[in-house]
Amino acid sequence: MSKQAIDFDKNTHVSVNEYDQSAQLALPGYEAMHTMAFACLKSRLPEVANLLVVGAGTGFEIAKYGKAKSNWQILGVDPSSKMLAIAQDRINQSELSQRVQLVQGYTQELPVAPLYDGATCILVMHFLPDDGSKLSLLQSIAQRLKSSAIFVLVDAFGQKGSDELDRMISILKAYWEETGFPTDKSTKLLENFNEGVFPIQEARVLELLQQAGFEDIMRFYTGLWVGGWVATKS
């Protein structure tokens, strides 16, 4: 994982302990998105497989995958020690420690062998500016995948300042009101979005994926300001 604009170990606007709960309220279809991401993996990966999870976070998706597939080996990488502490507790409670390894750091720092059968990068890339950092992250993932491996990317997308994204944010605010997302948390979320999140248009997402060495790209999920794409390593 490349260095993020938001440091989850230092940024006071991000409560690590409440991350999962806040994410479920803030992101429309959060749990369904994870289920669809797993379905993408399940449709392509063999029964015995090794999976790279970039941005392991609190271990939410790792626990989901590990419980569902008893023969998957999973490596999760994340720069946040606080996130990984929560992830390790979740993995231990789920009795997955024999098949899951967590590494604190960035994807570029991982060994280039062994190569993985698949990878996910969920709600990570939008923390990186499009100054070569996004492409570098995608390339670092591609370099650690086997040929024909599956890759699942989920990220905020859209052009900041555009009418379309502004309208989407208006819908989001109404959605948050309907679902009871606390006003103070939604305000902080939008502050973080404005200051430390760097979404790009879908056309640019596809371009970067292709430049990094991915093909057969398909969008499988849309949750207002968040999209999910599945691709194949060339």
Q: How far from 164 is each of 111, 199, 207, CA to CA, in Å?
A: 41, 13, 20
How far is Cα 98 from Cα 72, in angstroms, rounded to an integer?
A: 11
Better-scored residue on pLDDT, 24 or 205:
205
Q: At what angle do helices 133-142 and 202-212 cross, to 10 degrees?
A: 50
At 25 the pLDDT is: 81
Q: How far from 78 is each of 3, 40, 54, 104, 133, CA to CA, in Å?
A: 10, 22, 7, 5, 16
Range ranked top by mean pLDDT from 181-185, 186-190, 197-201 = 197-201
Which domains, and CATH codes, for the chain? 16-233 (3.40.50.150)
- Tokens found for residue 152: 């699942």
pLDDT of 220 strictly over 50: yes
∠ CA 36-38-39, rounded to 5°: 60
Whether the Cβ atoms of residue 104 and residue 9 lie closer than 8 Å to each other: no
Report, as an integer, the average pLDDT of 113-141: 97
pLDDT tier at 166, thresholds 50, 70, 90: very high
At 14 the pLDDT is: 46
Whether the Cβ atoms of residue 208 and residue 124 lie closer than 8 Å to each other: no
What would the pLDDT profile of 10-33 be if each residue is shown by its tens digit? 554 445 567 787 788 888 899 999
How far is Cα 108 from Cα 90, in angstroms, rounded to an integer?
A: 25
Q: Any residues with CB less than 8 A from the CB of 200 and at least 6 apart, and which? A: 130, 134, 157, 158, 159, 208
What would the pLDDT profile of 68-125 be if each residue is shown by its tens digit? 999 999 999 999 999 999 999 999 999 999 999 999 999 999 999 999 999 999 999 9
How far is Cα 154 from Cα 136, in angstroms, rounded to an integer?
A: 17
pTM: 0.92
Whether the Cβ atoms of residue 146 and residue 233 lie closer than 8 Å to each other: yes
At 12 the pLDDT is: 41
Q: Which residue type, as a one-letter code, is found at position 150?
A: I
